[in-house]
Amino acid sequence: MYQSVFAPRLLTGQTIIVTGGGSGIGRCSAHELAALGAHVVLVGRNADKLRATADEITQDGGAVCWLACDIRQEGAVQETVRAVVAGRGRIDGLVNNAGGQYMTPLEKISAKGWDAVVATNLTGGFLVARECFAQSMRQHGGAIVNIVADMWGSMPGMGHSGAARAGMVSFTETAAVEWAAHGVRVNAVAPGYIASSGMDHYPPEAGAMLRAMRQTVPLGRFGTEAEVSAAIAFLLSPAASFISGSVLRVDGARPQVRMGWPMGVPGASVRQRDAVKPFNGFHRAVTPKVFAEPESP
């Protein structure tokens, strides 16, 4: 079973939507939320992935259902949320996780490519959050966690994603104010370099760069999907009832790296390695294929 650090049955009776729940961080967080007693509703474009994750959760004894939906389509989002409310009565939580991007310098990004990434990482998240609020949370309250990214200090090579994620942070802060009177909390989690299945979608030539990225992280390693999921679960939990409009970074202090300060990576000391051992609570985690290749010296 999932080895969550949180109290068993913490989220019993809650209905929580997880977009992009068929893979990566979404799949991991769906497993943890179900292990904590929530009924998880997986939403995404790929029905096969959603079904596979739902089967895993069912096998582990969790409560789950899934609905295929392109979150970029307003009508589809409205229908999907309506179906969840009709079937479950209310929506207690939303993990706005669905997203995606590709690596390209700004000068080579077409208008179509820019719009596609912004629609997936910003507009889609807004639509799902708006409908969860309008159709359920306005009446019953709830908690929303938007998944953004480590875009502080820029995202060279993925400027379209950086712009969209920054927009989602601003949306998070605004929604936290506008919806607070209805008992709705809105926060964000910003993963840094996380060893997730999403890395397997980058081109093969990016492998060496991906494997070397840990050398730019003060804690000297990649994060795990379970470490991001723990942050999500906390922000959805009663323990975070006075937290709203905030961004919880899960990034090993990477944005604080400055020229002139010795990193001490690679070859981290035994003390450092002992202090920052990865938390691997997800019993079904799969190591990204890119890390099967030898690391650059």
In a domain, 297, yes or no: no
pLDDT classification of 216: cutoffs 50, 70, 90: confident
Asked which of 75-79, 131-135, 214-218 is least confident by mean pLDDT, the reply is 214-218
DSSP 8-state assignment for residue 61:
T
In a domain, 6, yes or no: no
- 149-178 pLDDT, tens digit each: 988 888 888 889 899 999 999 999 999 999
Please determine, for residue 211, whether its predicted confidence score (pLDDT) is greater than 90: no
> Residues 217, 223, 229, 232: what is their CA dihedral angle, to the nearest 10 degrees?
0
In a domain, 63, yes or no: yes
Q: With pLDDT > 70 as the criterion, what percentage of the chain qualifies?
A: 93
In a domain, 87, yes or no: yes
CATH code, domain with 173: 3.40.50.720
CA atoms within 13 A on the CB side of 44: 27
pTM of the model: 0.91
In a domain, 103, yes or no: yes
- 57-94 pLDDT, tens digit each: 999 999 999 999 999 999 999 999 999 999 999 999 99
Hunting for tokens 């998070």 — which residue is that?
Answer: 172
Strands (E), 176-264: 184-191, 247-250
pLDDT recorded at residue 212: 81
pLDDT recorded at residue 40: 98
- 247-270 pLDDT, tens digit each: 999 999 988 888 777 776 655 555
Asked which of 22-26, 172-176, 195-199, 264-268 is least confident by mean pLDDT, the reply is 264-268
Order the strands of the 93-96 sheet from edge to edge.
63-68, 39-44, 15-19, 93-96, 142-147, 184-191, 247-250
Number of domains in the chain: 1
Where in the sequence is the domain holding 195, given as residue range(s)? 15-255+262-292
In a domain, 10, yes or no: no
In a domain, 189, yes or no: yes
Please compute the mean of the pLDDT values over residues 20-44 and round it to a whole number.
97
Q: Single out the residue of 261, 224, 96, 66 nearest to residue 164, CA to CA.
A: 96
In a domain, 108, yes or no: yes
